[in-house]
Structure 1
Amino acid sequence: MDPKAKEFLQSFVGKEVQNSPSPFMNWLRPVMRAVEEGSLTFEYVIRKEMTNPFGTLHGGVTAAMIDDAIGATLISYGEPYFYVSVNLAVDYFSSAREGDMVVAKTAILKKGSQITNAQCEIWNKEMTKLVAKGYTNLLRTDIKK
């Protein structure tokens, strides 16, 4: 883990993310809980606008949480390049409702020079019920931050 990137990310632990380079992450409003090498942990409170007509966490928002959390995890490597997702597969296991807190934990599984493979699990607050799990491959672009 890049020391400067680690210090930067750790400065957000315990705080709601508000000034992310990702406007979508600012909308999601997660609280960063942990920073580890190749892994971040976020908590999200499910708001009404994140739900589907059944009152449960919308699958698209779930996928977006996974994608955005994994993207933030790449910051830990301190690279000057942006990455883009080339695929995203999400398995849904259980639901979450408005007012519930969910925990997203990312893991970089393989970091190559061009392609990175990662996953993210979303759990209920107690970490006893898996809500969803997503896998993605990300491509390093030549675009610098």
Structure 2
Amino acid sequence: MIEQFKKMIGKEAKNVSPSPYGRWLNGTLLAAEEGKIKMSYKVREEFANPAGIAHGGVLAGIIDEVIGMTTHTLGRDGFFVAVNLNVDFLRAAKTGDEITIETEVVRAGKTIAHVECQIFDKEGKLLAKASSNLLKTVIK
């Protein structure tokens, strides 16, 4: 599984993601290893709220998408779905900004995985952090 991810490094999701939502978000995979993903996204105008900053719901969606990808790197049968998603928004990202998302599986049990995520701006400042518990289903 991880070899499939490595073939996508440097490519925009709109061209390679199996997820319709992931294709719309259109991040670029920067790095992938078992239990870890690093991606970048450009904050597009359609991501913004009326103040011109990234909408929290869009950031939560990006987090959820990348966390899901991260569980997929484990190469397990089935499909992980979020049981919860806890997000702390710490700084704003403006339209046009490049953001970087890093995720890591902290624990992968037989049925539940716990994943943490951080979003950074181009200067490396922490914009948001999140954690999620995901349930392994029989869906493939």
Residue pair 2:72, 2:79 contacting (<8 A) in 1 also: no
State whether structure 2 residue 59 is matched by structure 1 residue 69: no
Identity of aligned residues (%): 42
1:41-85: CA deviations, max 9, x gaps?
A: 000000000001110000000101111001001121112311110
State whether structure 2 residue 116 is matched by structure 1 residue 119: yes
State whether structure 2 residue 117 is matched by structure 1 residue 132: no
One-letter amino acid of the structure 1 residue matched with residue 96 of structure 2:
G
Q: Hey, what's the Cα distance between the residues in 1 that align with 2:107 and 2:25? A: 26
Task: Kindly report which structure 2 residues correspond to 1:18-37, keeping only aligned pairs within 5 A, or say none.
Answer: 18=14, 19-37=16-34
Gaps of 5+ in 2: none
Gaps of 5+ in 1: none
Q: Hey, what's the Cα distance between the residues in 2 that align with 1:133 and 1:13? A: 23
State whether structure 2 residue 71 is matched by structure 1 residue 80: no
- State the shift of 1:36 in Å: 2.2
Out of 2, 8, 15, the position equivalent to 2:11 is: 15
TM-score for the superposition, normalised by structure 1 = 0.93
Moved over 2 A (4+): none
One-letter amino acid of the structure 2 residue matched with residue 137 of structure 1:
N
Out of 36, 39, 45, the position equivalent to 1:42 is: 39
One-letter amino acid of the structure 2 residue matched with residue 61 of structure 1:
V
Residue pair 2:77, 2:138 contacting (<8 A) in 1 also: no
Q: How many residues align?
A: 139
- State the SS of the aligned residue for 1:77: coil
